Chain A
């Protein structure tokens, strides 16, 4: 099945993830991790969210971004439109008008993916999505953004959920979306809804891992919110020209009684002023609110070890991520 594809190009092949040490950090290195605003036609993306905050920020951006431009949204859910992420009153979108001109399609499970006996019917969902995409093409929309949350399937049936059926469904969605120049999809799952191995198996049917848009990105430093654990991911190089924005973001995520984790797996450089800044921030916090440095890279770790951890009071050494868990944990 191919949807509204004007040519057979494979859209956006995954970036190869090579750890800056030169080693593959993840065995599944073909994933492209993409901020939600950079999801584009042909992407079959995966979001294993940690909670409502993360889900709402990703899906809210995905949905509202489409509706503010000439793109269509197809959301399969039993929630009413006004309660969907990105569509609350604060977004000031005219949901009635959007629904009327079929730019916003909120379709219930019953009408999208259940058979006559109320069981999950992947073929039906594919047909519905295909129909919606074709219609969008005729209506002149530039693109179609599809999304649904699969958690109910996993939660309703627990360990008995038919993983093979879901994997088959995901493969079909992937086959349909990937060559498309119009359609893009985000499959959502509550990462607590099933066991990690099943989650990983589902994730592996997607080429793109979607995440929140970065808080800051100037091509040298990128700062992205993380939700589980709570904190920030710092990528690139942190130096004096960027201390201000970093301190600001750090203050944003610093909440009473809560540890802040900094994921440094992609931080290639931190200047001594940056270490000073971290120590200064940590000094104002209690042990329960410590600043935890996770996934330290060799280069940065060497500098810290040379200086000595004891010269950075309040900074705690965190864990190193187990390989293969990206997009799952």
Chain B
């Protein structure tokens, strides 16, 4: 028997090691001296000090924690009462309710997320803290019901009646007789609810708005330029939880003994008061008070020097509510669902679409005096002729980032066909985006990337399938950059701005745009149709293209500036040796993405799924 017990203990420890290894690794990397999450370069506390100074993270911690606590308390009460009430219903009702209840637990989160988003939009809720809280309560309640219900079912159904016959009020019967008997289930449900709420990303992302973000949303927005600040945060979370757990186990029993002397009614009163105060306090702090002008800006993740926002707020005595999106399409979905913003920073093709669908209002260029400093090369493009609606923000190309130590310089003349060169099999990243991948294939074949010709599209599809079969590429997202900085692969398709950043971190890398032509893209600031703070919006746009702000912005992000003075300053300074900073738009084979007919877009999306799904 002894031997067996050793074996079982060993097994449990082994499994726990499996659970904790990745966490341990992230904890170690929180002390990394460089930005990389994959390569340890030295030990420092740099990320902890950055964490302390990061207001966004502090606010996110607050949102995550307060929502988790409130959602847990409310959904536990709700779920417990529902479970108790349910047990006295007829079997058919019970079955239906429990079945429906199980589905959200097992469903892909995105389904619940979109469902709730639409529900809130159609009911005209102002998205933010409250909608996020409601959504969390909604997805936590089923967990509570499922863990409480079995306990309720094992109770004698006459228990409550017996208590009431003996003179208890229904409330007393509930709190004094039933709840103590199902305590374990309630506790397990609450624990699950807290855990699910604290870790949730997908649902939170879709139901939130007005700048309210939880930790997961902040982390997700960081993935492009992920840095160990978030590891530092996780380390702190883990340490805090361990401390809490230990102290609960060690001190609570002692405390309970002491409070036994206090009259139960007093104790209950104090508890209720504390909970109510906590809830009220949390809700109060959660809603942003707006005493002055508020400008809502919606930009891609990690696409601005955040200190500029502080500067702008100070200069104009206003509040900027800043939100970020992961893709233009995600931005469109939120905008179309009725979320209101003042200034957006989407890409060219999306701007064209927004103009076509009447989401924007024209800019008043007289209010943007800094426009005179913009480069001529970025103005008057096909997506917005005459720049009636948009003010260019960053621009660049799509090209190939490669490791100079592995890739033969002579092979670069292959252009996009380099991505099919068997020499580099298994050593490349593609971008997981149908737009960019089909652009590559179409350009490699000598076609226009805006083609609607079915045969050409089919040929491009075959090119991509062949590439998949012969090259074994990775279809990655924003983690490409970190992997390239670590030198995990030799070749990657990237945007020029990401290339500049990567090269500045890892000098072994270099960038080129293939000679068959590529995509030249522009991201620009636009003002929405519902924007009410038009003066402030113009001031913001003007502020962002001010030479000084533009230099700070481009230096921080690595993307190519649209402001002449900043562009020149970078070419002489920070990005002097980095070819990707220079955008060559002279080649006639280069193109800008145009508006895609939804049918064609759907076609591309389907084919891209086919490429990936084999």
Q: Does A associate with B in a complex?
A: no
